[in-house]
Amino acid sequence: METLYAVTVGVLTACSVFLILRGRSFPIVIGITMLSYAVNLFLFSSGRLAIDQLPLIGHSETYTDPLPQALVLTAIVIGFAMTAYSIILAVRVRGEIGSDEVNEPDHSDSEGSR
Amino acid sequence: MNLAAIVLLPFFGALLPLMLRHKTRIWITSSAALVTLASLTLLLLSAPETLGGGIPTLMVPWLPDLGLHFAMRLDGLSLLFAGLILGIGILIVIYAHYYLSSRDDSPRFFAYLLLFMGSMLGIVTADNLILMWLFWELTSISSFLLIGYWFQQSNARRGARMALAVTGGGGLALLAGILLIGNIAGSYQLDAVFAAADQIREHEFYLPALLLVLLGAFTKSAQFPFQFWLPHAMAAPTPVSAYLHSATMVKAGIFLMARLFPVLGGTPEWFIIVTLTGLATLLFGAYFALLKTDLKGLLAFSTISHLGLITMLLGLGSRGALLAAIFHILNHATFKAGLFMIAGIIDHETGSRDMRKLSGLRKAMPFTMVLAVITSAAMAGLPLFNGFLSKEMFFTESYQQDLFGGLSWLVPVLATLGGMLSVAYSIRFVHDVFFQEPAKDLPKEPHEPPLMMRAPVIVLASLCILVGVAPMLMVSGLLEPALAAVSGAAGQIDIAIWHGFNIPLLMSAFAIAGGIAIYIGRDELFTFNRQFDHHDAKEIFASVVKRTTTLSDALMLRIETGSLQRYIAALLVISLVFVIPELVKIKALTGDRPQLPVDFISMIGAVALILAAFGTAIFHRQRLTSLMMLSVVGLLVSLVFIRFSAADLAMTQLVVEVVSILLMILALFFMPQRIPRASSGRRVARDVLLAGFVGGIVGTLNYALLTRPANTISDFFLANSVPGGGGTNVVNVILVDFRGFDTLGEITVLAIAAAGIHKLLNNLRPFMPSSDVDGRPWHSTTHPLLVQVVAQTILSLALMVSVYIFLRGHNLPGGGFIAGLVTAAAMILQYMANGVDWVKNRFDYNYQTLTSVGVMIAFFTGIGSWVFNHNYLTSAFTYVEWPIVGKFELATAILFDLGVYLTVIGATLMILANFGQMTTRHRPRQEGH
């Protein structure tokens, strides 16, 4: 199970890094969002994997580590704020400049025009 | 405290002339003089203790962890230098009053001068190496301001810049050297460094430390080959030159070598480097001083030469040589300050400093001539003047050393040659200017300057004679403690005018005779010198600067290409470079922790998650598809959470997922729907490779982490959740109680992000297509009836659920974050289903207010615990019987959670509702609407 979990986190990271390296703002925002999922999963796993051990007192014999959960919970909400901020920034840039490319339009690294 | 006041007075006093800007000039000068006098008085009050053999110190910890303290000491060396700085300083202030014209901005001048004075005092009294370095750099900056005082002149600006570049660069080397020394000694306090002297000299880093410190000293003291900045610093007003190049700035390097002599000196390396540099500088300076036609130029090169002499003495390092060095520091300061002032007087009263034009001034300025003769005689080292004594000692030392084996005889010969040149240029200074036929075509009719302008020179010239005639009476009390500080051993000193007929006296005689001979034959020398093509240091310096900037520009263009992707890629590569070696060090990838078995459902989930992630990346050019794939990823992540016993996380993730996908669909309306052209194959290959590496590393790290036993601090939370926080849902108790302060920070961040978005949306003119990407117009039915009905039905249900989740949060999965998100999602559904106008009519709340109220509630709940004398955010709870509901826990933490709840609703709606209104007439247009 641990292998499966680690592979999943690795794939999520790889895909999001690929998206972040794109030249347009929308894929980058998607990449950032997915990267935040990967990071959350990673942080969450620092409490190790445990099945049916909800951190509710009286619910079971042993409990999983509640601290990473509390940290990740706020991280999810902050991650949402970040996603929102970056996507609105992207919209604003599109409105102001008329393009969603992150580089100068005539830059050699830029992707095709819209 | 007295010591601190001596140094800090000039710094604060620098404000006085500026505040008196509107008064007459005499007020301004007096204020600067008063500050200097006050500092000098304090110094004199502390002096008896030092002269009696004690060392007054002051110690105020500043940054103890870095070893930096505001530590001061006043040993003999400090006292000698501080006396020079303040004593000559006061003369300079008086002189400058008459020198500066009414057009000059004298408040600024005196402010700079006092700043410089304070920095110099700081160097000489600092008891901590880093503190000393700090003042060292302050002198570089304040001397930059002083040299560039006439900033309207380009040569003043250039000279100032050059001085700053050279001395500032040397200062950085000095810092590195000091850090090395401090590391070896284990402290930056001088006493500790002195105590560790042997350790430092035997350390393998001794040579680098020595070289770095000497680099700092040589640049500051204009030693060969760094002497080139000093002549260009002559663009400064003459009082500044007189101050910087006699008693202060250039003596700082000498001071540094004397100060660190007990630590760094006495080794063969020290001897060879310092002695030879000093000797080379002595000869170089003396030769070029003779060739100069500008009075100040002559004095500048003569200063270089005399600094070389002192450096050489410090290099020789015997007790007699150290005494001679200290004595010559004092003597040089007195006669050179006087000579600079005379040059300034001549310039001031005749309008020229060119020795080819000036001549025969003895008739017009007889008094000045007498002063010039006295000070020049001291510079030449004629008997009965102070320069004679220290020069005689210098000859003695150069004769007595046998450090170069069979070639040791060269040193006294070259020293005598330096002495000859010194005599020759001293004669030139007096003879060319004051004798021969009176000059005709001077810019001004020459006449004597006002008495008070001469007064400082009279004081200095008298000192030259008094010290020269009665050295023991005048200065032995001052020199003894200074020598004790440099040599590390106290003892009597003996300076006599007459030693009988011996070799040094013969050398002096040779020097005087040879000097006269050189002066007489100077025309041949000038002709000889004209054969050489002398490069101006200014041009060489400028071309070096230009080449350096061109090089760094080219380098910058290569690194800073403007491609953001390249920056991110570079960042990732660098992090890989740092992480991979660490991973290689791990012995076994798999740890000891027993692993969970893989079950079928988890397998399916993982495969689906992986496929969805790949889909998101692969279809990124069809944006809607990519977004749908992303939402699958998000939903599956929430399933992962629930699978591994994290119910709160799963709920949060689920609602956040809904809200953020909604937001992104909305944003997609304003963005291009597709990317028509793919990136080049090379770029895709590069990115895939890089992404694969990063993903592989993260996965490996995660695996290594997962298979190792956890060492958690959560047992405390689990044990105290019910007795201390009154709730069984430990995650929620951590959020609102144990780590409530973190949560307060997080909701604040959320509120700030929302406010930022609100601002971004103001006056935004988004790109609004009237049809989709294939040219099909949007559907005319904006709000389908079915959706409207369902949404309205769901609203009350959702609100009830959110209240329920909120209330039970302390004991079961739920809480403010989740409840807030559920409410927000339900509200957004109303906006979508019924339109903005419909919602505005029924629910016209200001979300900004809601958000701030939420943060305030959370904040003041925390403060509430102060009323009961508890720490911030301490919670209290009790159990109450509610009708119907039954036994229910009531905790102050729920009030805090209420704040979280309101903030989350407010922030989410502020983001989404405002963004959704972009297409309607309610779109934010102006500030505050």
DSSP string, B887-914: EEEEEHHHHHHHHHHHHHHHHHHHHHHH
Mean pLDDT over residues B297-316, rounded? Answer: 92
CA angle B32, B35, B38 (to 5 degrees): 150
Element (H, E) at B259: helix B249-264
> Cβ–Cβ of B702/A81 closer than 8 Å?
no
> B705 is written with which tokens?
């982490």
pLDDT for B366-416, tens place per residue?
888 999 999 999 999 888 888 888 888 888 888 888 777 778 888 889 999
- Does residue A108 carry a pLDDT above 60? no
More confident residue, B304 or B680: B304
Instruction: Residue B671: list chain A partners with CB under 8 A.
Output: 25-26, 90-91, 94, 100
Q: In angstroms, rounded to a whole number, what is the distance separating the alpha carbons of residues B315 and B325?
A: 10
- Could you tell me which of B220, B215, B213 has the C-alpha nearest to residue B167? B220
From chain A residues 22-51, the ones with a CB under 8 A of any chain B CB are 22-27, 29-30, 33-34, 37-38, 40-42, 44-51
pLDDT of amino acid B927:
47
Percent residues over pLDDT 70 in chain B? 96
Beta-ladder partners of B398: none
**B572–A17 CB contact, under 8 Å:** yes
What pLDDT score was predicted for residue B212? 95
The alpha carbon of residue B899 is apart from the nearest alpha carbon of chain A, in Å, by 14
Q: Which of B641, B383, B814, B504 is nearest to A72 (CA)?
A: B641
Higher pLDDT, B802 or B523: B802
Q: What residue of A is the nearest CA neighbor of B662? A: A84
Rounded to whole angstroms, the Cα distance separating B1 from B60 reads: 10
Between B874 and B693, the higher pLDDT residue: B693
Mutate to test the interface with B, among A59, A61, A72, A76 (most CBs of B within 10 A): A76
> Mean pLDDT lowest for which of B308-317, B518-527, B877-886?
B877-886
Average the pLDDT over B670-695 and give the result.
83
Cβ–Cβ gap B753/A3 under 8 Å: no
Residue B925 confidence (pLDDT)? 57
pLDDT number for residue B914: 82
Nearest CA in chain A to B821: A77
Where does the pLDDT of residue B29 fall: very low under 50, low under 70, confident under 90, or very high at 90 and above?
very high
List CB contacts (< 8 A) between B645 and chain A: 50-55, 64
> Hey, are the CB atoms on A20 and B568 less than 8 Å from each other?
yes
Q: Identify which of B564, B613, B754 has the shortest CB distance to residue A11.
A: B613
| CB–CB contact A66 B718 (8 Å) | yes
User: In Å, how far is B833's CA from the nearest CA of chain A?
Assistant: 21
Look at A112 and B765 and tell me if their CB atoms are within 8 Å.
no
What residues have CB less than 8 Å from B313, skipping those under 6 apart? B278, B321, B322, B324, B325, B328, B394, B397
Helix intervals (H) in B835-873: 836-842, 847-867
**Range list of β-strands (E), B564-624:** none
- The answer to whether B598 contacts A4, with C-beta atoms less than 8 Å apart, is yes
Question: Residues of chain B with pLDDT > 90: what percent?
Answer: 38
Q: Is the ipTM of this complex over 0.90?
A: yes
Per-residue confidence band for B922, with pLDDT thresholds at 50, 70 and 90: low
Q: Looking at residue B929, what is its pLDDT? A: 41
* pLDDT one-digit tens code per residue, B519-561: 888 888 888 877 776 666 677 888 888 999 999 999 988 888 7
Candidates A21, A78, A93: best to mutate against B (most CBs of B within 10 A) is A21
CB distance from A86 to chain B under 8 Å?
Answer: no
Residue B488 DSSP class: S
Q: Which helix (H) or strand (E) holds B732?
A: helix B730-733
For residues A16 and A34, the answer to whether their CB atoms sit within 8 Å is yes
Name every chain A residue with its beta carbon within 8 A of the beta carbon of B734: 66-67, 70
Of B48, B385, B647, B733, nearest to A60 (Cα)?
Answer: B647
Report CB contact under 8 Å: A95, B710.
no
Give residue-wise pLDDT tens across range B734-770: 888 888 888 888 899 999 999 998 888 887 777 777 7
Cβ–Cβ pairs < 8 A, chains A and B? 328
Contact between B344 and B98 under an 8 Å Cβ cutoff? The reply is no
Q: Does A54 touch chain B (CB under 8 A)?
A: yes
Say if residue A18's pLDDT is above 90.
yes
Helix axes B25-51, B106-125, angle to 10 degrees: 10
pLDDT per residue as tens digits for the range B33-62: 999 999 999 999 988 888 888 888 889 998
Asked if pLDDT for residue B163 goes beyond 70, the answer is: yes
Closest-CA residue of A relative to B723 is A57
Alpha-carbon distance values, B793 to B641, B656, B797, B821, B822 (Å): 30, 22, 7, 18, 15
Which whole number is the average pLDDT over A58-77?
Answer: 87
* Predicted pLDDT of residue B533: 66
Question: Would you state the pLDDT for residue B282?
Answer: 92
A41 and B572 within 8 Å at the Cβ level: the answer is no
| pLDDT at site B880 | 66
pLDDT band at B883 (very low <50, low <70, confident <90, very high): low
Q: Answer yes or no: do A29 and B649 touch at CB < 8 A.
A: no
Of B632 and B919, the structure prediction assigns the larger pLDDT to: B632
pLDDT at B85: 93
pLDDT at B259 (0 to 100): 93
Contact between chains at B614 and A29 (C-beta distance less than 8 A): no
> B865-894 burial by CB neighbour count: b if 16+ within 10 A, else e?
beeeeeeebbbebeeeeeeeeeeebebbbb
Does residue B889 carry a pLDDT above 70? no
Q: Cβ separation of A7 and B630 shorter than 8 Å?
A: no
Q: Which residue of B has its CA nearest to A71?
A: B735
Taking the Cβ of residue A97 and every Cβ of chain B, the question of whether any pair is shorter than 8 Å is answered with no
pLDDT above 60: residue A109: no
Tokens 């920095």 found at: B119
CB atoms B767 and A79 under 8 Å: no
Kindly indicate the confidence band of residue B588, based on its pLDDT and cuts at 50, 70 and 90.
confident
Report if pTM > 0.90: no
Amino acid letter for position B874: T
Q: Please report the pLDDT score of residue B227 as a whole number.
A: 85
The pLDDT of residue B447 is above 50: yes
- Rounded to 10 degrees, the C-alpha dihedral A35/A41/A42/A47 comes to 160
Residue B928 has pLDDT above 70, yes or no: no
Please give the residue of chain A at the shortest CA–CA distance from B569.
Answer: A21
Tokens of B77: 């060396």
Per-residue pLDDT at B528: 80
Instruction: Supply the mean pLDDT for chain B.
Output: 87
Q: Is the pLDDT assigned to residue B83 strictly greater than 50?
A: yes
Over 50: is that where the pLDDT of B159 sits?
A: yes
State how far the Cα of B47 lies from the Cα of B81, in Å rounded to an integer.
12
CB B630 to CB A103 under 8 A? no
Whether B664 has a pLDDT exceeding 60, the answer reads yes
Q: How far apart are CA B391 and CA B383, in angstroms?
A: 10
Q: Return contacts of A67-72, CB within 8 angstroms, 24+ apart.
A: A67/B712, A67/B713, A67/B714, A67/B717, A67/B734, A68/A43, A68/A44, A69/A44, A69/B646, A69/B648, A69/B649, A69/B731, A70/B731, A70/B734, A70/B735, A70/B739, A71/A43, A72/A40, A72/A43, A72/A44, A72/B646, A72/B649
Chain A residues with CB-CB distance to B617 below 8 A: 15-16, 18-19
Beta-bridge partners for B294: B354
What is the separation, in whole angstroms, between the first and last Cα of chain A?
Answer: 44
**pLDDT at res. B765:** 73
**Residue B882 pLDDT > 70:** no
Cα diameter, chain B: 123
- Partner residue facing A107 (CB), from B562, B630, B721: B562
Position B924 scores a pLDDT of 60
SS3 state of residue B878: strand
State the pLDDT at residue A110. Answer: 46
**C-alpha to C-alpha distance for B657 and A80, rounded to whole angstroms:** 8
Q: Which is nearest to B495 in space by CA: B478, B518, B513? A: B478
Instruction: Inform me whether the pLDDT recorded for A78 exceeds 50.
Output: yes
